[in-house]
Amino acid sequence: SVRGLGAAHTVVSYDGLPVGAARQGETDLGRFDVDHLTSIALRVADDGRLLTPVRTLGAAVVELRSATPETAPRGLHGRASLTAAAFGTAAPALLLTLGASPRTTLTAAADFHYGRNDYPFRLRNGIIETKERRTNSRMQAWRAELGAAHRTRRGGTWRSKLYLYDSRRRLPGAVKLYTDDASERLAERQVFAQTAWRQMLGDGWQLMAAGKYATDRSRYTDRGDEWPGGALVQRYRSHEAYATAGAALHRGPWSTALAADYTFERLRSNLDGTRRVERHSWQPALSVRYAAGGFAATARLTGGIFVNRAAAGQTPARDARRLSPSLTMAWRPARGNLVLRTYYKELFRVATFTECYYYHYGSQDLRPETTRQLGAGLTWTLGTADSPFSLHLAADGYLNRVTDRITGIPVNLFVWQTFNMGRVRIGGADASLDATWRPARGHAIYLSAGYTLQRGADRTDPATASYGKQPAYMPVHSGSASLAWESPWFGLALHATAASARWATNEHVATTRLPGYAEAGAAIYRTLHVRRCRIDLRADLVNAFNAQYEIVRRYPMPGRAWKLSVAIGW
């Protein structure tokens, strides 16, 4: 969730294309192995890029880039790793890269993850505190990928990928006094295939086209005598076909781009009322950019048409359509290291399939959500990547006005309450710092820190108990920091994350207050070179001070833990 807007406004893109999230609206980043990624970046608001899939023009984008380079040395190269951690965790992984030709690279990757997750925690009952252990938390997941990247003779690129993820997990119930719920199971499988093409032409023209097909399956089971036949079984299967295309023209200080997305989605389930629902989405975007003399401005108009259909006897979600403008400006005075920026942006979000149709979660009566964002900020940079010392500072303030905010509050890991909040205001500020110091040859010290202040308030009805109060699960203060030292012998890293108190309900009932927390950890790592092989060794201490905290109410997080990993590359 970026700037209090909710995770559904943060798009995840994988090799340039959005990860399908029509069913849930949220993406589990655990589906991707960090060791098989070359970069992870968070992009907030517009950054001046014009020719991009329209679906990635949200409040923020998490950009994941896989280890499929457009060029690679000829021959077969690889990386094998093994991670072992506390609470019965084991995760082997393998990545193979083949330089098939000077312009073509093929990759294959696979990994497996298993964990018992039976971590201890403390349970308070009045003045009595007992030591308990998490139950029904075992899970296993495996993933496989095939990738191809090709650079054309005329400077274009073509990237394709086939992806499979399968998981089987037990769902731990909410911690309650005198009872231990341990009967829920969830099985999921996601498969997608995608291809994307980009080409630079003469006279300033640039073209882009891409397509994707994805299918998701899930099976939720809750065993108990209260259900007919001894179990509640819910099966969901969704299909998504996605296509995007666009063209851009660059002439002097002016650039113009036109892009359009089309998405077809279908959801089937074994439940009455949602046995078959469909959605057609058309999203065009027209962008104009002017950049000259240290000043740049980008204006964009994005449209959206969403048409919902359902089988006979079923009620579809509401259709919707809207035009959303945005304007971003940046100015670098006197060619210095300071950049000033401001922006206005509107977002329009329709409810996901989960929010509309899922059992004990969805409602077809949900209204689309409209967000108006206004913000300003600055960036100051000192030095370059090759300088002995470099510093990057950024700060932003913002005000968001949300109409018909789509809000989900979890009852447990699979049952939520979803509703519209009429009007919500969110104001806040972000600040970040990144610094690098190289005191001697072979030595480097890296410092990174970030802080967020968020004040949200329900402005719908003064007569309600939630009026003027911070929305559920939104901390006022949150932040993180990390400090790393790298030397010719080893590397050492320290890191911490903290958040202030939150509430599990919009009404701020006393029993739903979640205390603030701070979690810290450390890591030590070293790289060895043996002939043509590179060996990476790493040891992590997680939650070093054994902080006891909850992110979702009544679901305690793990305490102190350890992790060891070894990787061999050739």
pLDDT, tens digit, 9 for 90 and up, residues 198-227: 999 888 899 999 999 999 999 989 888 778
Residue 229 phi/psi, 5-degree rounding, is: 80, 0
How far apart (Å, rounded) are the C-alpha atoms in residues 491 and 493? 7
pLDDT at 24: 61
How far apart (Å, rounded) are the C-alpha atoms in residues 158 and 297? 30
- Our measurement of the distance from residue 491's CA atom to the centroid of its chain's CA atoms, rounded to an integer in Å, reads 28
Which residue type occupies 391?
A: L
- Cα separations in angstroms, 135 against 118, 172, 465: 6, 6, 36
How far apart (Å, rounded) are the C-alpha atoms in residues 139 and 103? 40
pLDDT at 178: 61
b/e burial code for range 143-180 (CB count within 10 A of at least 16 → b): bbbbbbbbbeeeebbbbbbebebebebbbbbebeeeee
How far apart (Å, rounded) are the C-alpha atoms in residues 497 and 387? 29
pLDDT at 177: 67
Q: How far apart are the first and last CA of the chain?
A: 38
* Six token digits for residue 26: 């949220």
* Six token digits for residue 550: 């909850």
- Cα separations in angstroms, 47 against 52, 57, 59, 60, 141: 11, 10, 12, 10, 35
Q: Are 549 and 520 in contact (CB under 8 A)?
A: no
Q: Are 4 and 473 in contact (CB under 8 A)?
A: no
- Our measurement of the distance from residue 377's CA atom to the centroid of its chain's CA atoms, rounded to an integer in Å, reads 23
pLDDT at 413: 56
Q: What is the pLDDT along the chain (570 residues), one digit of tens a residue?
A: 888 888 888 899 999 899 875 556 678 888 888 878 888 888 887 767 889 999 998 889 999 998 777 667 788 999 999 999 999 999 999 999 998 888 899 999 999 999 999 999 988 877 888 888 888 899 999 999 999 999 888 888 999 999 999 999 998 877 876 666 678 899 999 999 999 999 998 888 999 999 999 999 999 898 887 788 888 898 989 999 999 999 999 999 999 999 999 999 999 988 876 778 999 999 999 999 999 988 999 999 999 999 999 887 788 888 999 999 999 999 998 777 899 999 999 999 999 888 888 766 778 889 999 999 999 999 999 988 788 999 999 999 999 999 999 887 766 555 667 888 889 999 999 999 999 999 999 999 999 999 999 999 999 999 999 999 999 899 999 999 999 999 999 999 999 999 999 999 889 988 889 999 999 999 999 999 998 899 999 999 999 999 999 998 888 999 999 999 999 999
The predicted model scores a pTM of 0.89
pLDDT, tens digit, 9 for 90 and up, residues 43-95: 887 767 889 999 998 889 999 998 777 667 788 999 999 999 999 999 999 99
How far apart (Å, rounded) are the C-alpha atoms in residues 299 and 329? 9
DSSP letters of 259-294? Answer: EEEEEEEEEEESSTT-SSEEEEEEEEEEEEEEEETT
pLDDT at 25: 64
Nearest to 478 by CA among 517, 447, 425, 515: 517
Nearest to 92 by CA among 139, 137, 142: 142
Beta strands in 59-119 (DSSP E): 60-66, 75-85, 89-101, 104-115
Nearest to 300 by CA among 270, 257, 260: 257
Residues counted in the chain: 570
* Six token digits for residue 240: 């998504």
Nearest to 273 by CA among 360, 199, 331: 360
Region class of 34: left (phi > 0), else alpha (psi between -120 and 50), else beta: alpha
How far apart (Å, rounded) are the C-alpha atoms in residues 398 and 456? 12
pLDDT at 21: 59
Which residue intervals of 245-387 are DSSP H helices?
353-357
How far apart (Å, rounded) are the C-alpha atoms in residues 357 and 22? 12
Nearest to 161 by CA among 122, 204, 109, 101: 109
Region class of 468: left (phi > 0), else alpha (psi between -120 and 50), else beta: left
Could you tell me which residues come within 8 angstroms of residue 225 by beta carbon, excluding any fewer than 6 positions away?
A: none
Residue 218 phi/psi, 5-degree rounding, is: -145, 145
Number of Cα atoms under 13 Å in the Cβ half of residue 29: 16
Tell me the pairing of strands 444-458 and 533-542. unpaired
8-state DSSP, 356 = H
Nearest to 558 by CA among 120, 176, 62: 120
* Six token digits for residue 345: 């942006």
* Six token digits for residue 392: 């990057």
Beta strands in 102-204 (DSSP E): 104-115, 120-125, 128-133, 139-151, 157-171, 184-200
Place of tokens 């969110």: 426
